[in-house]
Structure 1
Amino acid sequence: MADLEALEDWVAPLLQRIEPAERSKLARKIAQQLRRGQQQRVIAQRNPDGSAYAPRKPRKLRSKQGRIRAKVKMFQKLRTVSHLKARGDSSAATVGFTGRIARIARVHQEGLSDRAAPGAPTVQYEKRELLGFTDLEREQIRDALLAHLTL
C-alpha cells in the first residue's frame, strides 16, 4: 500500500489541474481495468501475492444415490459484473462488492467465522484475498495515469 500512497502523493497535484469530468472518466477507466484484473485472479483462484487460495474443506459429493456432483470453483458468481462493482468519480476509483455478497466476500477476505446457513454451525473460514493489488495492477494504474496526463 505504500506504493499506492507514494503514487497518490506524486499524482495529486497533476490531477488537480484536470477538469472534474476528465478525472471521472480516468477514474472509471482505471476502476474497470482493476475489476478485470480482480476477476482474472478470482478465476485463477490466486491471492494478490500469487499464492493459491486455501482449498475448500472436503465435503460429501453424493447428493442422491448414484449421482456425483461436480466440483465447482469457489466464488464463481462473486466475480461477475453484477456483484463485483467498479465505480469512478472525480475523487476516487473503487472496486468492491455490494449488499449481502459484500459480507460473504469480507468473511473470506479476512478469514472470519460465519454460518453457511441460518441455524448451521459456525465455521472458521480460511483467508482468501478476493481483492488486492498485484504488482502488475500497480503498474497498470501508473501507466494509465501517465498516458492520460501526457495527452
Structure 2
Amino acid sequence: MADLEALERWVSPLLQRIEPAARTKLARTVAKDLRRSQQQRVITQRNPDGSPYAPRKPRQLRGKKGRVRRKVKMFQKMRTATYLKAQGDAAGASVGFAGRIARIANVHQKGLKDRVARGGAVVQYEQRELLGFTDAEIDHLRDTLLAHLTL
C-alpha cells in the first residue's frame, strides 16, 4: 500500500497539468484495466498477495436420490462487469462492487459475520480479498500513467 501512496504523491502534480478531458480518458482506461486484472485474480481464486482463497466449508452435494450438484467456483457472478463496476472521471478512478453485492463482497473482503440466508444462522466468513493491488498491477498502473504523460 505504501507503493500506491508514493505513486499517488508522485503523479498528482503531473495529472493536474493535463486537461480534464484527458484525465477522464486516462482514469477510464486505468479503471477498466484494474477491473480486468481484478476479475482475472478472482477467477484464479487468489488474494492480492498471491495466496489462495480460504476453501469453502465442506457441504453435502447430494440432495435427493440420483441428484448430484456440481461444485461451483466462488464469486462466479460477482466478478462480471454487471456487479464489478469500473468508473473514471477527471477526479479519479474507482473499481468496486455496487448495491446488494457490495455488502456480500465486504463481508468476504474483511472476514466478517453474516447470515447465510434470511432468517438463517450467523456464520463467521473467512477473509477472501476480492479487491486489492498486486505489485504487478501497481507497475502496470505506473507504466500506463507514464505512457499517457509522455504523449
Aligned residue in 2 for 1:97:
97
- 2:145 matched to 1:127? no
1:17 aligned residue? 17
The aligned residue for residue 34 of structure 1 is: 34
TM-superposed CA distance for 1:28, in Å, is: 0.4
The two structures have a TM-score, normalised by structure 2, of 0.99
Q: CA deviation at 1:13?
A: 1.0
* Residue correspondences, number: 151
The residue identity in structure 2 corresponding to 1:44 is: T
The alpha-carbon deviation at position 67 of structure 1 amounts to: 1.2
Q: How does 1:111-150 map to 2 (within 5 A)?
A: 111-150=111-150
Specify every segment of 5 or more residues in structure 1 that has no aligned partner in the other structure, as ranges: none
Q: Which amino acid aligns with 2:83?
A: H
String of CA shifts for 1:71-120, please: whole Å, max 9, x gaps: 00000000000000000011111000000000000000000000011110
Q: Distance in 1 between matches of 2:137 and 2:24?
A: 19
Q: Hey, what does 1:108 align to over in structure 2?
A: 108
> 1:2, CA displacement in angstroms?
1.1
What SS does the corresponding residue of 1:67 show, helix, strand or coil? coil
Deviation per CA, 1:42-93: give whole Å up to 9, x if none: 0000000000000000111012211111100000000000000000011111
SS at match of 2:127: coil
Establish whether residue 60 from structure 1 lines up as the match of residue 68 from structure 2.
no
SS in 1 for 2:119: coil
Equivalent in the alignment of 1:88: 88
The alignment partner of 1:7 has SS state of: helix
SS at match of 1:119: coil
In the superposition, the TM-score normalised over structure 1's length comes to 0.99
Percent identical: 73
